Structure 1
């Protein structure tokens, strides 16, 4: 009888242990999958959301498309980001100059890098957001956008700056966005005494479309080639244009 009771206790203990193990292993396996089975180039957290930094800057991060996009609420510019692996399994999102803009941890935390906080500042999730997409544009609307960018750039440079474009229905919206970005580069440079002098080298801005993004400056003409197949990533950023204008002879 004692032997039977002992054997029964062992069997019941084994059954209890067997029933308990899946309850413990389930969450553990899910955590392990989230930490170690994530593909390179992916980050935890919602693919589309609004965030706020410690200094109060609000931005949208859109990872719902092949090329991640970021837009600050206080600026019309959308930044195309390139993710690259970092230590501890983190990801660094860089701009088209290869400079870090955002760091993502495996657990979904983000650090924002700015000119005022180059060492980074933590950000917090606010909520949902609308996707960052280009909308179709008519020839008349494109002409108006080019004229607006021309006026803003001319005021910044303190001389007339003519904007021209060879556009198609597929490239019109992207060229309009690129014109806005060029004017932002002019405005930022005009606000710095050491950079304002470089704006006098530009008398005309010409936009065309192609397979690759590029920007060159020669004989007073800033030529910008946009790549419609890349969506909003198919034009140079204002930072890249600033570097070009500063380095031009």
Structure 2
């Protein structure tokens, strides 16, 4: 790997620093009519081909909530409105011409039918729930960050993780100007994993042995927990696919 300028070499952020938000904006929307109308519009009809939707679109779920699905890149991505995490998906063919979109643990997140129907699977909806297309949306992309903004994002991640653990959990990171956006995003995802660890008794037991979170570059994205350190490996050339999801971090910590 070629050498990159580092800013600064090791960044240690305490939870007392000011927090800054990370978000992806979506356009205003109106509530859809029927599921078929929402997906296909008034003129939609089946002609033997797969129905199309905008490459980046917002969907609402039949029992509440919504998400943005971005299919404008080789690896589709989804972001749920109640979370800051962006999930990078792997599409796989399924029976009847359907496509299943899986996370980095191989678990189904979405299922698209050849007619354009979409089903979403979450922890709250393990058996799936129908989703309806609302409108086009803003693509999910990493934000450009300078050194100060990276410090703020790491501070936010540290503060959130520390509040969940009820003690200081500092975040360390090696980052260059090129890798700063991915490192900041990976830190947010790691904080989400810590919050989830703190949400149940088994996870809190694991969390009691966590002293800090360290983010480094490597050939493959990954996560591990050793010697009290949650080690997050990012691969910048892979974009958002170059960091582990919160689910993968939890699995690495032995909490799933």
Q: TM-score range by the shorter chain?
A: 0.7 to 0.9
In structure 1, runs of 5+ residues without a counterpart are 1-29, 36-42
| Backbone CA RMSD of aligned residues | 1.7
1:112 aligns with 2:120: yes
> Could you say which structure has the larger radius of gyration?
1
Question: Which of 204, 217, 223 is residue 215 of structure 1 equivalent to?
Answer: 223
Query: How far apart, CA to CA, are the structure 2 residues paired with 1:127 and 1:168?
Result: 37
1:244 aligned partner: 252
Question: Are 1:150 and 1:161, in contact at CA under 8 Å, matched by a contact in 2?
Answer: yes
- Greater relative contact order (CA < 8 Å, ≥ 6 in sequence): 2
Query: How far apart, CA to CA, are the structure 2 residues paired with 1:111 and 1:206?
Result: 36
Give the SS at the match of 2:208: helix
Query: How far apart, CA to CA, are the structure 2 residues paired with 1:107 and 1:48?
Result: 18
CA shift, 1:247, in A, is 5.3
Question: Are 1:159 and 1:200, in contact at CA under 8 Å, matched by a contact in 2?
Answer: no
CA shift, 1:210, in A, is 2.4
Q: Deviations for 1:156-183, whole angstroms, at most 9, x for unmatched residues?
A: 1222211111101111011101111111
1:165 aligns with 2:183: no
TM-score by length of 1: 0.81
1:81 aligned partner: 89
Query: How far apart, CA to CA, are the structure 2 residues paired with 1:57 and 1:233?
Result: 25
Q: Deviations for 1:113-154, whole angstroms, at most 9, x for unmatched residues?
A: 111221111111111100000111011111111122112112
TM-score by length of 2: 0.79
**What is the number of residues matched between the two proteins?**
211
Question: Are 1:216 and 1:244, in contact at CA under 8 Å, matched by a contact in 2?
Answer: yes
